[in-house]
Amino acid sequence: MRPPSDARTALVATLVLLATSVSAACSSEPRAPTSSVGAPKGVATAPPSRSAAPDLATSAPSTPSAPSATAPPEPDEAAPAAAAAAEAVPPKPAFTATVSAIGTDLAARMTPTSWREGCPVPLSDLRYLTLSHRTFEGGVATGELVVHADVADEVVKVFRTLFDAGYPIRSMRLVDDFGGDDDASMAADNTSAFNCRPVAGTDRWSEHSSGRAIDVNPVENPWVRGTAVAPPAGAGFVAREPAPGVILPDDVVVRAFAAAGWSWGGAWESPVDYQHFSTTGR
């Protein structure tokens, strides 16, 4: 209501300038040390800090806009509030994802390990996804999956939900890194999707062959039939006691996939496939 005096206006301008320059410094700061970190130590913690930096940088610009809008009426409170807000907001890691077609290099990487002539779907029907995920160590990493083009966007949504819920994933690499060998991928506790292969012990194509099935943390969520357990390291998780990575009925993982229309192999009678989600329920 009260018109600000010239001195007040000058003060406001100074504070706004100060706040802006402080914020600008904050937003550019994380990039400098990150890019200059060339030391080989701390390899495990480097990816989380790298992915945290862009988020801090992108969220920072919203901070100066608030004080500059509110500064004129209440300059004495706005500036300290801006400083406090900048200090109070922790660098929250952001979920990021990409969806792309199977390019020439990737096609070469996938052939003939996970894909070959005669598979139910052509490479042009598949998509390559990169997805942020939480690690068991409390960090953030980027994984990769190949899925059917029809489900690519909903799979991104599922993994965004898992990320936001803090659900950890051990490893998320293409099965081609394991020679297309599902047993080797499972033994490495690797989360994966597309793999053109028959259902074990049958001549029927697995749902993984169309990129419409995903196996999540296979060690914590093994395949079980009678006394048979795959991978063998999953034997310690057959009892289904709550633990990091263990998927339980109606938990955040099951609900995230269900929201996309996917069903869980953990609900099967025999075999029970706790790691397996698919669009068809097979």
**Binding site residues, Zn ion, CB under 5 A:** 213, 215, 276
Q: Would you state the torsion angle of the CA atoms of residues 36, 38, 44, 47, taken in this order, to the nearest 10 degrees? A: 40
Give least dist CB 96 to Zn ion, A. 26
Residue placing its CB nearer to Zn ion in the complex, 78 or 213 = 213
Which residue has tokens 């930096």? 53
Q: Which residue is nearest to Zn ion (CB)?
A: 276
Give least dist CB 165 to Zn ion, A. 21
Give least dist CB 270 to Zn ion, A. 15
Give least dist CB 271 to Zn ion, A. 11
Report the Cα 139 to chain-centroid distance in Å: 11
Residue 67 — φ and ψ, nearest 5°? Answer: -65, -35
How many angstroms separate the CA atoms of 53 and 36, rounded?
13
Give least dist CB 215 to Zn ion, A. 4
Which residue has tokens 């057959």? 238
Q: List the one residue out of 243, 248, 261 whose CA is nearest residue 158.
A: 261
Residue placing its CB nearer to Zn ion in the complex, 33 or 249 = 249
Residue placing its CB nearer to Zn ion in the complex, 61 or 281 = 281
Give least dist CB 178 to Zn ion, A. 14
Instruction: State the DSSP H helix or E strand holding residue 276, giving kind and residue range, or none if neither.
Output: strand 276-278
Which residue spans within 94-208 are E strands per DSSP? 97-101, 126-134, 140-148
Residue placing its CB nearer to Zn ion in the complex, 109 or 282 = 282
Residue placing its CB nearer to Zn ion in the complex, 79 or 272 = 272
How many angstroms separate the CA atoms of 166 and 191, rounded?
16
What's the angle, vertex CA 243, arms to CA 238 and CA 249, rounded to 5?
65
Residue placing its CB nearer to Zn ion in the complex, 61 or 249 = 249
How many angstroms separate the CA atoms of 158 and 154, rounded?
6
